[in-house]
Amino acid sequence: MRTGAFKIALVYIVMGILWITLSDRVLLALQSTFGAEQVFFLGSIKGIVYVLITGVLLYYLIVRHTRRLSESERKYRTYFDQNTNPMWIINRRTMLITAVNDAATARYGYTKEEFLKMSALDLRPPEEINAAIMIFHDLTKGINDIGVVKHVKKDGTIIKVHITCNLIDSARESLVMAMAVVENQAK
């Protein structure tokens, strides 16, 4: 997003400098033909035209950038949703699940709505909750290979899964993307 904003600002700056430089030269050349009052009026028109042109240009650039960003977000959401391994996006501070993919709902038996009301700790048996809290506390940037842990499915069945986590940069909150590979699949 930063590069898109930079490009938009750069185009605006270049267009502004070119417009001011070239249109001032035209007004200077017209001073000998027109009186001061007409040149002043043309200067005002020049400013209005500049605002209109740059307004349309900024609108076009922002719309184009927003479309590209939306398309990129859609692609990544599809990669997440269609991953064959159970995956969750978890708020690191609250440990609440904020997103879940279809593989997780199929493997664990919870609906998406049920998952979104759960904490990551709800997936762990009581004896592993303290360890899970420490894992969230100790996460670092990059891939965190947590190893094999126990998870509890909706029906109460305990399964062993190999967990990997990755911190996600977000302007608003610290998020964790977690992926579980069922232990018999991981071998």
Tell whether pTM > 0.95: no
The backbone torsions φ and ψ at residue 138, rounded to the nearest 5 degrees and listed phi first, read -90, 0
Token pair for residue 14?
């270049």
How confident is the model at residue 125, as a pLDDT? 96
Question: pLDDT (tens digit, 9 = 90+) per residue, 155-184?
Answer: 999 999 999 999 887 767 788 888 988 766
Which tens digits make up the pLDDT trace of 5-15? 788 888 888 88
Q: How large is the average pLDDT for residues 106-119?
A: 96
Residue 2's pLDDT band, with cuts at 50, 70 and 90, is low
Alpha carbon distance 26, 165 (integer Å): 61
Q: pLDDT tens digit string along 68-95? A: 989 988 998 899 899 999 999 999 989 9
Query: For residues 96 and 57, what is the distance between their CA atoms, to the nearest angstrom?
Result: 42
Give the dihedral of Cα atoms 25, 27, 30, 36; nearest 10 deg: -140
More confident position, 2 or 168: 168
Digit-coded pLDDT (tens) for 32-76 = 888 878 878 888 888 888 889 888 988 998 899 899 989 988 998
CATH fold, domain 85-186, is: Beta-Lactamase (3.30.450)
Q: Which residue has the tokens 């750069």?
A: 10
- Comparing CA positions, the residue from 155, 153, 151 lying closest to residue 180 is 151
Mean pLDDT of the chain: 88
Distances (CA, A) of 53 to 27, 35, 43, 61, 115: 18, 27, 15, 12, 49
Give the integer Cα–Cα distance in Å for 108 and 122: 12
| Among 186, 113, 125, 187, CA closest to 153 | 125
Sorted by where each begins, the domain ranges of the chain are 2-80, 85-186
